Structure 1
Amino acid sequence: MHVFEGTVAEASVRLADPGFVAQCAKRYAAMHGRPPGGGELTSWSESWPALVRVLVAADLHDLHLLLEYELPGSSQRIDALLLGRRASHLVAVVVELKQWTFAAPHPVGTGMLMVGDREVLHPGRQVGGYVAYLNDWVPAELELKVRGMAFLHNASAELLGHLRAHATGGPSAVYPLLGADDFPEGAEVSLLAGRLQCADVEPADRQAVDGFLRARHRPSGSLLARVADTIEGHDGFRLIGDQDKARQTIHGAIEATVRETPGHVVAVTGGPGTGKTAIAARVLGDLCFKEGANPRLLSPSGTLTQQIARAVGDSARGLISTLTTTLPRGLRKDTSIVLLDEAHRARTDPLRRHSEFPDLFTRLIRECATLVLFLDERQIVRPSEGTTLDELSRLAQARGYTFAHIDLPTQFRCGGSRTYLDWIDALLTEDGRAPVWQGTDYDLAVAGSPAELEDWIADHHRAGCSARITAGFCWPWDSPSTPPLRPEVSISWTDETGDHLWQRPWNSGADGILAGTDTPGRAFWATDQGGHQQIGCVYTAQGMEYDYSAVILGEDITWTPNGWQARPEKSRDHALHGLPPRQYLRYALNTYRVLATRGTRGTRLYSTDSATQKQLRRLVIGAGRHP
């Protein structure tokens, strides 16, 4: 998909029309279901004319130009793509456009930069990624030769010099970084065309361009082999016991279904720590080894997607991606097997459906041969999300698909303590009738204050363990994405030593790896340096795990002799606003269950409500003796 397709000459004429960018924005909104952002519109208005001027000056009028070309199998877009021909080969030139006037080295990330408060890839590395992506996804029969460059039309010679020096010796150095000074007025046409990677490129005929646009993209064999090898050798995706048995059972279900006509659903259920994500990743790796494979690993959770993609590497882009409401491109009904992890987080809008079953799932199964979903019904935390085993079974039956169910009985989180998981499940049901804790195989206790929680977390962090604090969404979250973060989680209490106030920031909302020094981006709060200094929420903790977990229960749920009482008015989560107490309670209990099952070795609980805190202390008498 793209917002403009035509020759350079045609683009030059269209850009003279003041309404051209608005027309492209309208086409973008029709394709993506949302309008482009203001910054994006500004970029189009400034960068497109700058590019087309140098293309015209280089006498490349008849080359084909695509603006905002969406990569196959991905939601990522190339700013501009030139298409032409050299001898018998189709040639594509990737053009990354930047308006930068300033950039600084990234304090941590190799091949990355800071532009203001934004964390970005080096332009050369970005171009290289797009080139590699096209090589990995465009069908070999097109015989496409891919080149690339970055055009920083506002950059000074000094900035370009720094960026080129930053790229020296690395993969970013392969692709030229060009500025306005590289296209002086009156320069030889051949010189300009050479700098644009087009000196030997001739116009392609319409048939060749249409062949590129209509091609059914799929992952190449070399891409699948790289991803398979990485997953197979990654310690985080090793399976044991019931996990490996489930993996083999999934393959058996897949094999049994693909022998028949496409249209099959496999549901894999399991509680926290049963290894759903590890199994999904390992099955993806197994599928990548198969000849003619076309698998995908999707998750509605951007946090989980980014963590898996980082573990597997850049090659996995397109094979591993976040599922929102738009389906991945490049799926094929006859060959595609889609693994959907965290299916309970999928946006299924059960309260606003126009049909009996989730539109997202019905569209997805129409596009693939087999759909494998991993879910835990008690991790549904929003009314707009979720599905159930029963619903999936009925969907398969109604559509005439085969259906298989695999349950994962053994969990490997929380020290493998079935006692703790049973206890937390009993505690976080509506009646809250949990027994007094008597477990000896898991470190559980109730903290006397948030300061005590923080000291416990800090001690484990200094000992080299991973440890995090999470809380219910009961405090404002208006902080900027980058430091200094506001200390919005604010708790006061009184004890025998006097009055106290404890304040800490929520995790950063930044999308990148790093939001600032010792402040990871939201997707990496649970794993990266500095995350223990911010408070996480269910959206950054779900799907993650760490050694020690401290959980703050807010006043959105409080204990009474008749069980849990919901107080939706105490919640700051906009996704839950307006829910009646009984309905809110379901999502709140699921939320705290998620938060209380992240710790592999120990958990501390604390409630800001005095009656709830008293009840927790009564249930956990004498606990917390473990190191």
Structure 2
Amino acid sequence: MLICRRPFTPRTCPGAPSRRHCQSRGGGQTPQAPLPDASPRRQRLHQVHQVARRRRTPRHPTRFGSDYEFTMFEDPAQMHHVIRERNQEFGLARMAAGYAWEWVSKKDGSLTDIRIGDYQARWNSRVKDWVDSPGSLEEVGSIHTLQGYDLNYAGVIIGPDLRYDPDEDSLWFDRSSFFDKRAIYRNKQKGRDWTPEELLEWVRNVYYVLLTRGRRGTFVYVCDHNLREYLRPYVPDFEWSDQKATYRRNRDHR
């Protein structure tokens, strides 16, 4: 069966609270704030689905109002900083990324896994119930730790495994930046290599799940320059003003 027939999907309905985190606390430290109305999230689910599947590209950024924060960062370190702030205020704010970096810290905790410029971080130190584990706020979760969980805020790093070719106007999968051993193991069980199309479908499904975890907001950092520029007209930009978060929409799309 092709991978596109078995996509990653959340175990709860879009817009419905996760059964596992309705009454949870963020990392066991910060009480979870009451969840907002689900309608802005449904709008974002629709937009993410359209862009990820390239069935229809929105002409302008979707304005979700004050009830939902959806914005793109130029620096993953800044995004992580804001995730910490949102966790202190609301709880259940975590970083997430596609499996585009090897999990070297699993064997040596002194090493870092994710390196983007000056930003360094480790993958989740555990798989089961990682969201509530001590130290999870300073780590980055993968699809295997976040599928089926709802967060208040998700800071998603779209890694170099998903790229955009402006000449072909198409997304493509970079196999050299793919380190999901679970997917590779399933591949061996099939007795054949996944086709590039199947792997692209797999990775797009992963990012769809990660980008739909946040009920109050989703922050995005994109590693691939071309993909970042492709998405820029449809995702509001983030900027700092007097050490506080403000939002700036692309001037050509106000």
Instruction: Give TM-score scaled by structure 2 length.
Output: 0.71
- The yes-or-no answer on 1:423 pairing with 2:47 is yes
Distance apart, 1:271 and its partner CA: 4.1
CA contact 1:424–1:596 (8 Å) conserved in 2: yes
Q: 2:79 aligns with which of 453, 458, 481?
A: 453
Q: 1:502 aligns with which of 116, 119, 126?
A: 119
In the alignment, the residues of structure 2 paired with residue 575 and residue 423 of structure 1 have an alpha-carbon distance, to the nearest angstrom, of 29
In the alignment, the residues of structure 2 paired with residue 432 and residue 585 of structure 1 have an alpha-carbon distance, to the nearest angstrom, of 18
Distance apart, 1:472 and its partner CA: 0.5
Question: 2:178 is matched with which residue?
Answer: 571
In the alignment, the residues of structure 2 paired with residue 421 and residue 485 of structure 1 have an alpha-carbon distance, to the nearest angstrom, of 37
Q: How does 1:170-209 map to 2 (within 5 A)?
A: none
CA contact 2:94–2:141 (8 Å) conserved in 1: yes
Q: 1:480 aligns with which of 92, 106, 130?
A: 106
Distance apart, 1:415 and its partner CA: 4.0
Q: 2:207 aligns with which of 592, 595, 611?
A: 592
Question: 1:439 is matched with which residue?
Answer: 63
CA contact 1:466–1:547 (8 Å) conserved in 2: yes
- The yes-or-no answer on 1:606 pairing with 2:221 is yes
Question: 2:155 is matched with which residue?
Answer: 550
Q: Residue by residue, what CA displacement relative to the aligned partner does 1:529-551 show, whole Å, maximum 9, x if unpaired?
A: 42110000000001111111100
Task: State the identity %.
Answer: 24
Distance apart, 1:558 and its partner CA: 1.1
In the alignment, the residues of structure 1 paired with residue 100 and residue 60 of structure 2 have an alpha-carbon distance, to the nearest angstrom, of 27
Distance apart, 1:439 and its partner CA: 1.9
CA contact 2:62–2:234 (8 Å) conserved in 1: no
Distance apart, 1:487 and its partner CA: 1.1
Question: 1:290 is matched with which residue?
Answer: none
CA contact 2:130–2:136 (8 Å) conserved in 1: yes
- CA RMSD, 1 decimal: 2.9
In the alignment, the residues of structure 2 paired with residue 430 and residue 585 of structure 1 have an alpha-carbon distance, to the nearest angstrom, of 13
How many aligned residue pairs are there? 207
What SS is found at the alignment partner of 1:544? coil
Question: 2:141 is matched with which residue?
Answer: 536
Q: How does 1:399-414 map to 2 (within 5 A)?
A: none
CA contact 2:61–2:233 (8 Å) conserved in 1: no
Q: Label 1:622 to 1:553 Cα distance change in 2 as closer, same or farther (>3 A).
A: closer
Aligned partner letter, 1:423: Q
Aligned partner letter, 2:209: V
In the alignment, the residues of structure 2 paired with residue 414 and residue 490 of structure 1 have an alpha-carbon distance, to the nearest angstrom, of 36
Distance apart, 1:430 and its partner CA: 4.6
Q: Which has the higher contact order (CA 8 A, sep 6+)?
A: 2
CA contact 1:413–1:599 (8 Å) conserved in 2: no
Distance apart, 1:413 and its partner CA: 8.0
Question: What are the ranges of 5 or more consecutive residues in structure 1 without an aligned counterpart?
Answer: 1-268, 279-303, 311-411, 493-500, 510-521
In the alignment, the residues of structure 2 paired with residue 456 and residue 471 of structure 1 have an alpha-carbon distance, to the nearest angstrom, of 16
What SS is found at the alignment partner of 2:96? strand
In the alignment, the residues of structure 2 paired with residue 455 and residue 503 of structure 1 have an alpha-carbon distance, to the nearest angstrom, of 13
Instruction: Give TM-score scaled by structure 1 length.
Output: 0.31
Q: Label 1:526 to 1:619 Cα distance change in 2 as closer, same or farther (>3 A).
A: same
Q: Residue by residue, what CA displacement relative to the aligned partner does 1:356-410 show, whole Å, maximum 9, x if unpaired?
A: xxxxxxxxxxxxxxxxxxxxxxxxxxxxxxxxxxxxxxxxxxxxxxxxxxxxxxx
Q: Residue by residue, what CA displacement relative to the aligned partner does 1:276-321 show, whole Å, maximum 9, x if unpaired?
A: x64xxxxxxxxxxxxxxxxxxxxxxxxx7xx89x9xxxxxxxxxxx
